[in-house]
Structure 1
Amino acid sequence: MEYSGDDATVYQTIRVTTPESPVAALADVEAWKARKTYPSMLFAGGPVFGVARERQPGGWVLQPFFSGLAPQDARDGLGSYFRRVAKETADGGDLRHAAEYQGAGELLDWEALNDLTVCGRRYRVVRAERFIRMGPDGPEPPRVTDPDPSAPGESHEGLDPAAGLVIDPYDATGISEGILKAELLAALRKHGTVPSDVRDDSRTAAAAYPGGVLLPATFMTAEREGGQWRPGSSGTATTPQSARDALAMQLRVMVPWQRDLTAEQRSVYNGAADRLDAERCDELDVAGRHFRIVRVERLIRVGPDGPEGPRPSDPDPVPPVMVQDRELRAQGAPRDEEDGAEELDESTQKFLRLFEEERRRRESLRRR
C-alpha cells in the first residue's frame, strides 16, 4: 500500500483515551504486539457491505448483518428488514407506517437504491474496506482477546458483533486502535495493483470521507501453497469459531465432493475436521495442505454526510430480484410454476448426500 499526504481534517482528528476496562486494556496490548509480529498491513480482497440507520442524537448505527460481498446483498437484507418491520407494525395496529415499510421493501425489489428515508428514518448501504496483517510467517491469526463464545458447530447461532455499533468518528479509542485507524485512513491501492477506476475512486473517497470507524474484526480461512497464502473463505465469519466451522464443513463436504475422494481419503479429511473441533486450533495440516484461521480488520470511511456508501467501481453484478425476474422472462426462461421436476445429476446428488450426512452428524452432537 501507499499513503496519501493530504492535510488532516476534523474527521481525521483521532481521539485517544485510556482503556476503561481490564479487557479493553488487554486488547490494546495485544493490538500493539500484533504491530511488531505482523508489521505489514495489506488489503484483504474486496470490500463488504451492510446497512446503517441515522440516529437522531447524531451518528449512524449499524444493523445486522454486515457481511454482503456486493452492494445488492445489503439492499436485499434491507428489503427483508422493511418487510419484517411492516408485519410487526401492522400487528401493532399502525397500518399507515406498515404500508410505508412494505412499500420500501417492494421498491428495493426493483431499484438499486443505496440511500432512502422510510417513516422519518434514513437508511444507507454502507461500505467497509478490509485489511489483514502479515508477518514473516504469514497472516495474523485470531488474538486471545477476540470474542469466541460458540461451541464447535454452533457458531451460526451467534450474533453480529458489529450490530448496534454507532458510526461516530469522534468516539475515543485506545492508542493501538487509534494508530491503526490513522494508517488505514491514509492507505491507498498501489499503482498497477488494481484498475485505474478503482484507484481513482479510492482517492476520491479519501477526500470525501476523511474520517473512519473500525468495526469488530471478522475471520477467514487461508491456505498456504508454495510459500504463498490464498484466501479459502469470504472473510465474513464473525468469530474465530465461525471460521473454524466453515473450514470443518469444507473438509467434510466440499473437498470430498470437489475432489471425488475415496472413503479412505475422506477419512483423512474427516479426522482433521474432528481435530479442528476438538482442539479449536487456528492452524491445521491435512493431506499435505496447511490452513490457518486469519483475522480481518474492517474500516468504514465517514464524511460530513455520514458513512461511505458503495463506490462506482465496486462490483455489483446482480440486479434487484424483480429486475432479474423480468430479464429472465425476456430471455424466455420458464416460470417457477411451469418448471417440471428435474432429475439431479450424479455430482449434485453426491453433494447433497455429503451435506445431509454432515447435517445429521451436527444434529446428533447437539442432542447429546
Structure 2
Amino acid sequence: MGVKRVLVTGGAGYIGSHTVLELVEAGFSVVVVDSLVNSSPESLKRVGEITGKAEHIDFIELDLVDYAKLESEVFKKYEFVSCIHFAGLKAVGESVQQPLRYYENNLTGTLHVLELLGKYNCKSFVFSSSATVYGGVEEMPVTEEAPLSATNPYGRTKLFIEEFLRDLYKSDPEWKIIILRYFNPVGAHPSGRIGEDPTGIPNNLMPYIAQVAVGRREHLAIFGNDYPTHDGTGVRDYIHVVDLAKGHVAALQKLESSDVGCIPVNLGTGKGISVLDLVKAFSKAAGFDLPYKFADRRAGDVAELYSDPAFAKSFLGWEAKLGVEEMCESTWTWQSNNKNGYRDA
C-alpha cells in the first residue's frame, strides 16, 4: 500500500490536533474522526495551514457510538496502517455526575473501533490512556509497574479500556498495542495557532491560568496550600503537548518496526512542578503577576504525582525536551492571540 494512512479518533481535540500536525510532518496521511463534542474543526484547518499539507488530512464528523456509520463512512472508504485512539469524554467532575454517559460513550466507542479494525485487518493500535489509572500510588516516581486503580468514572473508562486491550492481545497475538499513559499535558504549538480550548469552565490548571491571564476569569483558586511539598501546593508532572505529540509518532514508528505485544508506556518529564511554580512561571511569561487565592483541598487530590520516564526512552527512543518556560510561553502566545479560543475564528 503506497499511502501510510493513520486513523486518528478525536483528532480535532487538544492533544489530537497537535499529534495530527506531528504525524503529517513525519510523512503520514491522516483520517480524523471526531464528534466535535469538545473540539473544533478550526484546529485541523490550522494544522493544514501550519504544515502546508492540508491534502494529507481528511476529516469526518462522526460519533464512534454509531457503528454502522463508522463502518460505511470510514472503514469501507479507507485502508489504514494504524489507529491512534484519543476520542472520549474527559471531564472528571462531569463523569461523577453522568457515569452512564461516560461508560456508554468511552467504552462503546472504543469497542466499535477495535471491532472494525480487526474486521478490516488493521491490528496496530495506540491508546490515549492517562496517569489517572495510577489511582492511589504512594511511591514516586511512578513506573509502569505501579498498581492500577481509579477514583472516578472517567479514570475507570481508561482502566477498563486498558483491560479490553490486554484481553484482545491475549486472544489474538497479531495485535500490536501501545498504551500511552500521559501525565499532565500543557502548552501549545509554538506558532500560537493551535492550543487547548476547553468548552465551559476549564477542568485543568493551565487553561484556567491562561483564561485568568487574558481576563476571562477573575482569579485562580489553588486547592490546598498545606501539602507536604516544597511550597505546600500540589506537585504534578507537566509535559509539553508538542513533546507528547512526538511521543505518539515514536509509538507508531515502534509499531511499524517490531512486534511489541501490548505494552504500557508513561509519557512524562519525570520532574514535579508545583501549582505555585507554574503560576510564577506563567506570570513571568505574561509579564505580570496573576491573581490567585488559596482554597481548601479537593477530595481525592494527592500531594504529588510524577512519572518515571526511563522506559519511554529505552523502548520508544523518546524523551521530553521542553521545560516549564516553553510550556508557559507557548500557552500565553496561544491564549493572547486567541482570547476566546477557536471561537474567535
Q: Would the TM-score normalized by the shorter structure come out above 0.5?
A: no
TM interval, shorter chain, is under 0.3
The structure whose Rg is larger is 1
**Which of the pair is proportionally richer in strand?**
1
